[in-house]
Amino acid sequence: MAIKTRITELFGIEHPIIQGGMHYVGFAEMAAAVSNAGGLGIITGLTQGTPANLAKEIARCREMTDKPFGVNLTFLPAVTPPDYPGFVDAIIKGGIKIVETAGNNPQKWLPGLKEAGVKVIHKCTSVRHSLKAEAIGCDAVSVDGFECGGHPGEDDVPNFILLPRAAEELKIPFVASGGMADGRSLMAALSLGAEGMNMGTRFIATKEAPVHENVKKALVAASELDTRLIMRPLRNTERVLNNDAVERLIAKEKELGDKLSFADIAAEVAGVYPRIMKHGEMDAGGWSCGMVAGLIHDVPTVKELIDRIMGEAEAILRKRLTPMFA
Ligand SMILES: Cc1cc2nc3c(=O)[nH]c(=O)nc-3n(C[C@H](O)[C@H](O)[C@H](O)COP(=O)(O)O)c2cc1C
């Protein structure tokens, strides 16, 4: 069964399921596995460090799939910003036609991307940012609710409210992001007005995800109670899986209150991703993880996961919902 929506049409994909950019997870192996299974896989641009490495990663991904895949560009507040012009150039020269932007307003980069025929989906945690994305010419929005792994923003509006509010206001299509795990999520997302779903955390617990086994085990073991919000005093809130480093960090936040600066917590967050994702040092620092960890009970292949989601969605419609209306 296939579900056709404005999102599947826009991106030329079989299933309305996107794998959001994930630092030190979104390598070619991850993106290709999702795209080969009929979803939209996304390489995480900044993880590559330099535009030249991103160009190589795009070429590597192309060897693994002939289906569409995208690149995530996250615009972070940074003292020394990454080489964004170089990354955009690598994306365009690499023939990428889909870019997921996140973080700061991507307006500056849109003319160049559009001219190269690139479709842009911007990740937003509020209706007002989604409307802004629409106004500046983004093709679609990924609406990230409070449940999401990573940066949920500062409004704390969960998807049961955020998605229908986005549907009330937006003209461009959007996908539901944050807390999505299975066929129930997909059917709920479509019911609330989204035209597909974006998953982060769930895709990490798959056979192909190029991360240490300890990370996958931690996700299967975690419940919906095991995430924490960090860096709220810095207005850079991140939802992470709890661990020793996160508890240390939260203790510092409590102790220092308004006086907290990034330097105080750098040991718990700066440069920790390779240690966790590559080497499986699970207490090395805070790493993004959604509440959806509570819905992750196994480590299937990406294709098994996507086929299962589509099968569950159809069963919900035909076996559960339709008879209720009879
Ligand atoms: C480990 C991890 C790393 C992430 N890194 C990024 C990133 O670099 N850029 C970005 O835009 N989003 C990032 N995200 C957010 C995801 O793309 C996605 O929006 C989010 O995970 C959706 O919520 P979910 O985890 O509940 O599915 C990350 C998420 C996780 C779990």
Query: Looking at the domain assignment, is residue 204 inside a domain?
Result: yes
Rounded distance between C-alpha atoms, residue 302 and residue 39, angstroms: 10
What is the arithmetic mean of pLDDT over 173-181? 98
Is the distance from the beta carbon of residue 140 to the nearest atom of ligand 1 less than 6 Å? no
What's the pLDDT score for residue 11?
98
Same domain, 149 and 256: no
Q: How many other C-beta atoms can be found within 10 angstroms of the C-beta atom of residue 2?
A: 11
Rounded distance between C-alpha atoms, residue 1 and residue 177, angstroms: 22
Query: Looking at the domain assignment, is residue 156 inside a domain?
Result: yes
| pLDDT of 1 strictly over 90 | no
Same domain, 13 and 92: yes
Rounded distance between C-alpha atoms, residue 45 and residue 43, angstroms: 6
Query: Looking at the domain assignment, is residue 243 inside a domain?
Result: yes
pLDDT in tens, 126-151: 999 999 999 999 999 999 999 999 99
Query: Looking at the domain assignment, is residue 34 inside a domain?
Result: yes
Rounded distance between C-alpha atoms, residue 244 and residue 265, angstroms: 13
For residue 199, report the distance from its CA to the centre of ligand 1, in Å: 8
What's the pLDDT score for residue 80?
82
Q: Are 12 and 70 in contact (CB under 8 A)?
A: no
Q: How many domains does the chain have?
A: 2
Same domain, 148 and 81: yes
Ligand 1 atom closest to Cα of residue 180:
27
Is the distance from the beta carbon of residue 67 to the nearest atom of ligand 1 less than 6 Å? no
Token duo for residue 43: 């390489």
Token duo for residue 42: 């996304």
Same domain, 201 and 118: yes
Same domain, 106 and 13: yes
Rounded distance between C-alpha atoms, residue 78 and residue 188, angstroms: 36
> For a substitution probing ligand 1, which of 175, 288, 292 has the most ligand atoms within 8 Å of its CB?
288
Same domain, 204 and 90: yes
Opening angle at CA 125, ends 246 and 293, nearest 5: 45
Pick left, alpha or beta for residue 290 (phi over 0 → left; psi -120 to 50 → alpha; otherwise beta). Answer: beta
Query: Looking at the domain assignment, is residue 37 inside a domain?
Result: yes
What's the pLDDT score for residue 64?
98
Ligand 1 atom closest to Cα of residue 142:
19
Rounded distance between C-alpha atoms, residue 55 and residue 306, angstroms: 28
Same domain, 230 and 102: no
Ligand 1 atom closest to Cα of residue 20:
17
Q: What is the span of the domain harbouring residue 65? A: 6-210+300-325
Query: Looking at the domain assignment, is residue 1 inside a domain?
Result: no
Same domain, 200 and 60: yes
What's the pLDDT score for residue 316?
98
Ligand 1 atom closest to Cα of residue 287:
1
Query: Looking at the domain assignment, is residue 192 inside a domain?
Result: yes
Residues of the chain with pLDDT > 70: what percent? 100
Residues of the chain with pLDDT > 90: what percent? 97
Nearest to 103 by CA among 82, 117, 89: 82
Is the distance from the beta carbon of residue 290 to the nearest atom of ligand 1 less than 6 Å? yes
CATH of the domain at 153: 3.20.20.70
Same domain, 25 and 166: yes
Instruction: Give the pLDDT band of residue 42 (cuts 50, 70, 90).
Output: very high
What is the arithmetic mean of pLDDT over 230-235? 95
Is the distance from the beta carbon of residue 148 to the nearest atom of ligand 1 less than 6 Å? yes
Same domain, 95 and 181: yes
Query: Looking at the domain assignment, is residue 78 inside a domain?
Result: yes
Same domain, 141 and 270: no
The alpha-helical segments, DSSP class H, found in the chain are 6-11, 28-36, 51-64, 84-93, 110-115, 127-136, 159-169, 183-191, 201-204, 213-221, 244-256, 262-269, 273, 302-315, 322-325
Same domain, 51 and 102: yes
User: pLDDT averaged over the chain?
Assistant: 97
* DSSP code at position 150: B
Q: In 3-state terms, what secondary structure has residue 166?
A: helix
What's the pLDDT score for residue 205?
98
pLDDT in tens, 275-318: 999 999 999 999 999 999 999 999 999 999 999 999 999 999 99
